[in-house]
Amino acid sequence: MSAIVSFEFSPPKTPTAEETLWTAIRRLAPLKPAFMSVTYGAGGSTRERTHATVKRIHEETTIPPAAHLTCVAASRAEIDEVIRDYWAAGVKHIVALRGDMPGMEGPYRPHPEGYESTPALIAGIRAIAPFEVSVSAYPEKHPDSPTADADLDALKAKVAAGASRAISQFCFVTEAILKLRDRMARSGLKIPLVPGIMPTTNFKGVARMAGKCGASIPPALAARFDGLDEDLETRKLIAAAIAAEQVERLRREGFDQFHFYTLNQADLTYAICRLIGITGARA
């Protein structure tokens, strides 16, 4: 069974970062991903840069772009303008998210004139144009969610509003992904669950990210990176092996789509894709 991959990038903040980003995009595009998504900063802080990057992917590559869009810090009118601009630019896929508050500080508060939730945002997107809409899913529970059942109810509401794909938060506990897939099936949710794969070269940095989003770090995983702070090359080899192992386990369990959080670095993601047999050649 062949695998389908997609890649996630962040909009650049500087000319140097933009050069790094486009080096990564050009390196990974020949692998023929299903799409390339571009994130939206906390509080909508990267709105213009996200739009510019998505539009450039559409214009300069053959890979369909997907634009992240959040509810926070903007009115419905402002968000609807962004949605219409994407459709007019030829961008047909949005990753709809609740989003984080500016500076990622404090609990979520909807804009007084904005979309109050992800399902409301999805409904607004669908009212404007027939976008493909992807949403997030959480194998280990969203930090703001009281229970895993509440998380599942939130996902059901997103699907009812028009979501067609769920991309998981990165998760190193493969069993949690399998359990979420099974719970979705028992609940009658038929949209694909696409596991999010996070390369782990900068293990300390990924551990910090995991702490913010509620993702567990298995002790066995941490042990593989122990004592390698000054050994980048070994960390790269281990990171590629870990991600490839996880993908192959998930493939044996029936998954055939995977979303890579690239952190705007191409080499590790490229190596992992090659390890799992993604070469860019399609039958």
User: How is the chain classified by DSSP, letter by letter?
Assistant: ---EEEEEE---SSHHHHHHHHHHHHHHGGG--S-EEE---GGGTTHHHHHHHHHHHHHH-SSPEEEEEE-TTS-HHHHHHHHHHHHHTT--EEEEE----GGG-SS----TTS--SHHHHHHHHHHH---EEEEEE-TT--TT-S-HHHHHHHHHHHHHHT--EEEEEE-S-HHHHHHHHHHHHHTT--SPEEEEE---SSHHHHHHHHHHHT----HHHHHHHTT-TT-HHHHHHHHHHHHHHHHHHHHHTT--EEEEE-TT--HHHHHHHHHTT--S---
Q: E strand or H helix at 70, and its extent?
A: strand 65-70
Cβ distance 79 to 117 under 8 Å?
A: no
What would the two tokens of residue 131 be? 């976008």
Q: E strand or H helix at 95, and its extent?
A: strand 93-97
The residue from 8, 48, 116, 230 that is catalytic is 8
d(CA 283, CA 281): 7
Q: Does residue 8 have an active-site annotation? A: yes
* Strand-pair partners of 258: 5
Return the number of other C-beta atoms located less than 10 Å from residue 247's C-beta.
24
Active site residues: 8
